[in-house]
Amino acid sequence: MLLYLVRHGEAKPENEDPERGLTDNGVKAARRMGEFLSFMGTELDTVIHSTKKRARETAQAITESLKPEKEVHEEGGLAPNDDPAAWVARINLMSEDTAIVSHLPFLDRLLSLLVLGNAEKRIIDLKPASTVCLKPAGDGKWLVEWAIDPGVIW
Protein backbone atom coordinates (compact mmCIF):
# COMPACT_ATOMS: atom_id res chain seq x y z
CA MET A 1 0.00 0.00 0.00
CA LEU A 2 1.14 3.51 -0.83
CA LEU A 3 -0.33 6.64 0.72
CA TYR A 4 -0.28 9.96 -1.11
CA LEU A 5 -0.79 13.16 0.85
CA VAL A 6 -1.79 16.00 -1.48
CA ARG A 7 -2.11 19.61 -0.45
CA HIS A 8 -4.88 21.46 -2.26
CA GLY A 9 -3.92 23.87 -5.03
CA GLU A 10 -3.67 27.63 -4.68
CA ALA A 11 -6.99 28.99 -3.39
CA LYS A 12 -8.72 32.29 -4.00
CA PRO A 13 -8.79 34.79 -1.13
CA GLU A 14 -11.93 34.68 1.02
CA ASN A 15 -12.98 38.21 -0.02
CA GLU A 16 -13.03 37.06 -3.67
CA ASP A 17 -14.64 33.67 -3.06
CA PRO A 18 -16.06 32.93 0.42
CA GLU A 19 -15.78 29.17 -0.29
CA ARG A 20 -12.13 29.63 -1.36
CA GLY A 21 -12.19 27.63 -4.58
CA LEU A 22 -9.02 27.22 -6.63
CA THR A 23 -7.47 30.01 -8.66
CA ASP A 24 -6.80 29.34 -12.34
CA ASN A 25 -3.16 28.65 -11.42
CA GLY A 26 -4.33 26.34 -8.64
CA VAL A 27 -6.36 24.29 -11.12
CA LYS A 28 -3.45 24.20 -13.59
CA ALA A 29 -0.97 23.08 -10.91
CA ALA A 30 -3.30 20.34 -9.67
CA ARG A 31 -3.92 19.10 -13.22
CA ARG A 32 -0.20 19.15 -13.91
CA MET A 33 0.43 17.15 -10.72
CA GLY A 34 -2.16 14.58 -11.82
CA GLU A 35 -0.52 14.34 -15.26
CA PHE A 36 2.91 13.91 -13.70
CA LEU A 37 1.71 11.23 -11.28
CA SER A 38 0.02 9.40 -14.15
CA PHE A 39 3.20 9.64 -16.26
CA MET A 40 5.14 8.13 -13.33
CA GLY A 41 2.79 5.14 -13.29
CA THR A 42 0.93 6.04 -10.10
CA GLU A 43 -2.15 3.91 -9.58
CA LEU A 44 -4.77 4.82 -7.02
CA ASP A 45 -7.63 2.82 -5.63
CA THR A 46 -9.27 5.66 -3.72
CA VAL A 47 -9.03 9.44 -3.42
CA ILE A 48 -10.39 11.03 -0.26
CA HIS A 49 -10.73 14.80 0.07
CA SER A 50 -11.93 17.21 2.73
CA THR A 51 -15.33 18.86 2.57
CA LYS A 52 -13.82 22.19 1.51
CA LYS A 53 -14.25 23.37 -2.08
CA ARG A 54 -10.51 23.80 -2.74
CA ALA A 55 -9.76 20.20 -1.76
CA ARG A 56 -12.66 18.86 -3.83
CA GLU A 57 -11.51 20.86 -6.88
CA THR A 58 -7.93 19.64 -6.41
CA ALA A 59 -9.09 16.02 -6.18
CA GLN A 60 -11.15 16.50 -9.35
CA ALA A 61 -8.20 18.08 -11.19
CA ILE A 62 -5.66 15.38 -10.29
CA THR A 63 -8.06 12.57 -11.11
CA GLU A 64 -8.58 13.85 -14.65
CA SER A 65 -5.33 11.99 -15.43
CA LEU A 66 -5.28 9.54 -12.53
CA LYS A 67 -8.35 7.39 -12.76
CA PRO A 68 -8.89 5.80 -9.34
CA GLU A 69 -9.95 2.17 -9.47
CA LYS A 70 -12.73 2.61 -6.93
CA GLU A 71 -13.85 6.07 -5.90
CA VAL A 72 -13.31 9.73 -5.17
CA HIS A 73 -15.20 10.94 -2.13
CA GLU A 74 -15.22 13.54 0.60
CA GLU A 75 -14.92 12.92 4.30
CA GLY A 76 -14.95 14.98 7.44
CA GLY A 77 -12.02 15.25 9.80
CA LEU A 78 -9.65 16.57 7.13
CA ALA A 79 -10.13 20.33 7.65
CA PRO A 80 -7.13 22.59 8.33
CA ASN A 81 -7.37 22.51 12.12
CA ASP A 82 -8.75 19.00 12.62
CA ASP A 83 -6.80 16.56 14.78
CA PRO A 84 -5.02 14.04 12.54
CA ALA A 85 -4.66 11.39 15.27
CA ALA A 86 -7.90 9.62 14.29
CA TRP A 87 -6.66 9.35 10.72
CA VAL A 88 -3.40 7.66 11.78
CA ALA A 89 -5.27 4.64 13.14
CA ARG A 90 -7.51 4.55 10.10
CA ILE A 91 -4.59 4.82 7.65
CA ASN A 92 -2.75 2.01 9.40
CA LEU A 93 -5.73 -0.25 8.66
CA MET A 94 -5.86 0.64 4.96
CA SER A 95 -4.63 -1.82 2.36
CA GLU A 96 -5.31 0.10 -0.87
CA ASP A 97 -3.27 2.80 -2.58
CA THR A 98 -4.98 5.97 -1.39
CA ALA A 99 -4.60 9.71 -1.87
CA ILE A 100 -5.78 12.15 0.79
CA VAL A 101 -6.31 15.71 -0.44
CA SER A 102 -6.37 18.18 2.43
CA HIS A 103 -4.93 21.34 3.95
CA LEU A 104 -2.24 22.81 6.15
CA PRO A 105 -1.66 22.53 9.03
CA PHE A 106 -3.58 19.22 9.02
CA LEU A 107 -1.32 17.55 6.43
CA ASP A 108 1.88 18.73 8.14
CA ARG A 109 0.66 17.27 11.41
CA LEU A 110 -0.56 14.01 9.83
CA LEU A 111 2.73 13.52 7.98
CA SER A 112 4.72 14.11 11.17
CA LEU A 113 2.56 11.69 13.14
CA LEU A 114 2.91 8.97 10.52
CA VAL A 115 6.67 9.32 10.10
CA LEU A 116 7.89 10.55 13.50
CA GLY A 117 5.02 9.83 15.86
CA ASN A 118 4.96 13.53 16.82
CA ALA A 119 2.52 15.99 15.23
CA GLU A 120 4.53 19.03 16.29
CA LYS A 121 7.66 18.34 14.22
CA ARG A 122 7.54 19.62 10.67
CA ILE A 123 9.14 17.47 7.97
CA ILE A 124 8.46 19.02 4.54
CA ASP A 125 7.35 22.41 3.23
CA LEU A 126 4.16 21.40 1.43
CA LYS A 127 3.45 24.03 -1.19
CA PRO A 128 0.04 24.16 -2.90
CA ALA A 129 -0.61 21.02 -5.02
CA SER A 130 2.48 19.26 -3.57
CA THR A 131 2.34 15.50 -3.13
CA VAL A 132 4.15 13.25 -0.66
CA CYS A 133 4.23 9.48 -1.20
CA LEU A 134 4.56 7.28 1.90
CA LYS A 135 5.04 3.56 2.35
CA PRO A 136 4.56 1.48 5.50
CA ALA A 137 7.70 0.90 7.56
CA GLY A 138 6.09 -1.42 10.13
CA ASP A 139 4.99 -0.85 13.72
CA GLY A 140 2.54 1.83 12.55
CA LYS A 141 5.32 4.06 11.18
CA TRP A 142 5.69 5.26 7.63
CA LEU A 143 8.61 6.22 5.38
CA VAL A 144 8.67 9.07 2.90
CA GLU A 145 9.15 7.40 -0.48
CA TRP A 146 9.29 10.73 -2.33
CA ALA A 147 7.89 14.27 -2.37
CA ILE A 148 7.25 16.56 -5.34
CA ASP A 149 6.42 20.22 -5.62
CA PRO A 150 4.49 21.29 -8.75
CA GLY A 151 7.09 24.01 -9.35
CA VAL A 152 9.59 21.25 -10.17
CA ILE A 153 7.40 19.74 -12.89
CA TRP A 154 5.90 22.91 -14.31
Q: Where are the beta strands (DSSP E) in 37-97?
A: 46-49, 71-74
Which pTM does this prediction carry? 0.96
pLDDT tens, per residue, the chain with 154 residues: 999 999 999 999 999 999 999 999 999 999 999 999 999 999 999 999 999 999 999 999 999 999 999 999 999 999 999 999 999 999 999 999 999 999 999 999 999 999 999 999 999 999 999 999 999 998 889 999 999 999 898 6
Q: What is the pLDDT of residue 139?
A: 87
In a 3-state reduction of DSSP, which class is residue 33? helix
Q: What is the pLDDT of residue 119?
A: 95
Q: Which amino acid, one-letter code, is at 1?
A: M
Burial of 24 (0-12, 13-18, 19+ CB in 10 A): exposed
Burial of 18 (0-12, 13-18, 19+ CB in 10 A): exposed
CA 149 – CA 116 distance, rounded (Å)? 21
For residue 144, give its domain range.
3-153
